[in-house]
Amino acid sequence: MIDSIIQQDPQTPQKTSRRATVMQVLPAMVTGGVERGTVEMAEAIVNAGGRAIVVSAGGPMVHDLTRVGAEHIQMPVDSKNFFIMRKNATRLVNVIKQEGVDLVHARSRAPAWSAYWACKRAHVPYITTFHGTYSHGNPFKRWYNSVMTKGERVIAISSFIAGHMRKIYGVRRETIRLIHRGVDLFRFNPEKITAERLVKLSTQWNIPDGVPVVALPGRLTRWKGQLVFIDAIAKLGRRDICCLLIGSDQGRTEYRKELEKRIQHHNLQGVVTIVDECNDMPTAYMLCDLVVSASTDPEAFGRVAIEAQAMGRPVVATDHGGARETVIEDQTGWLCKPGDADSMASAIEKGLNLSAQKREQMAKQAKAHIAKEFSKEAMCAKTLEVYNEVLSLDA
């Protein structure tokens, strides 16, 4: 639980206490891992007896915050305009004072700067979660990113990110708290997937009966490695499989056209299909025999790998970034060389050639692995511990 904040009553020597109010700040409540984690932590704060406030520019996931008992305050914190960021800082100071905020947790750079300035002025503790490597090729970029390292505690979502922060920004080890992202094991539970859901999605995607299904979930953007995946499937030389690219192009129409051309170039029409965004990923994973994460750049963490394993599905992931911490070689999946279609094809072939006994064994190992190391409950509990740690320092 969130510890009570101990406050000294000036009239008496006896200490009084009240529950903590935690304010999370992020650009907007749209679909994404950061947003989902924000909702999960808001729910954990409320369940622990605290008060959860989220400040963002709004979006469809505000409804999810309301559902878990959190409060949302709309503010243009998604803006990267310096003058708006400074105005947001003043607005956040007012929110902190009016709502009695005890701790601010920033999750993205532009709103983090506003939150950092506000916390300095309002004298409340400030922590951050470092969610990605961010572009850091010049001094200005490194300065801009550095706000994510200014928290009294800085949460790293993987050991890879913790090492990155130490190397690029010189963050002290004692400031960093490693908390892997977690998967909702209630939602990602094979036993909860009904035949109706499977049939509906299979029909929607026109998946043929009796063929192995290989999927690469992820938005259509170059660094997610869809082109490498298509090349790897071509190298397999098989037409008795169904391969799905699950994800929206989010306006990257030229890249989507490039993917379609690559599919045509390899004569893989009917083998590789782009199926756009999916709102029922647990069922999508259940339809698969193998799930691939093909990122050419290191993933800060990579939710696909843990979600697929939670559903008992073997994974192929590229051998860098967070995947090294989530995939156990030949027990829950395989790692392949980033950007290497030959290496990926070899790993995919291993997954497709599993015996029924080995597949069942890997499914059990994968589910146990995720339940032990990467549950939502563990992520939330560890984050609450960080909140308590910082609150106790300022009590």
pLDDT at residue 8 in the model: 34
pLDDT at residue 200 in the model: 96
pLDDT at residue 351 in the model: 97
Express each pLDDT in 152-202 by its tens digit. 999 999 999 999 999 999 999 999 999 999 999 999 999 999 999 999 999
Q: Domain-by-domain residue ranges, the chain?
A: 5-182+375-394, 190-373
H or E element at residue 129: strand 126-130
Burial class (CB in 10 A: 0-12, 13-18, 19+), 118: buried
Q: How many helices (H) and strands (E) does the chain have?
A: 15, 15
**Same topology between domain 5-182+375-394 and domain 190-373:** yes
Fold assignment, 190-373: Rossmann fold (3.40.50)
> Letter for the amino acid at 314?
P
pLDDT at residue 297 in the model: 95
pLDDT at residue 33 in the model: 83
Q: Can you read off the two tokens belonging to residue 185?
A: 């094991």
Interatomic CA distance for residues 213 and 220, integer angstroms: 19
CATH 3.40.50.2000 fits 5-182+375-394, yes or no: yes
Instruction: Give the dihedral sign, CA 5/2/164/30.
Output: negative
Stretches where the chain sits below pLDDT 70 are 1-18, 395
Interatomic CA distance for residues 52 and 271, integer angstroms: 47
pLDDT at residue 19 in the model: 87
pLDDT at residue 18 in the model: 65
pLDDT at residue 395 in the model: 66
Interatomic CA distance for residues 73 and 115, integer angstroms: 14
Report which of 224, 216, 219, 220 is spatially closest to residue 296, judged by C-alpha positions: 224
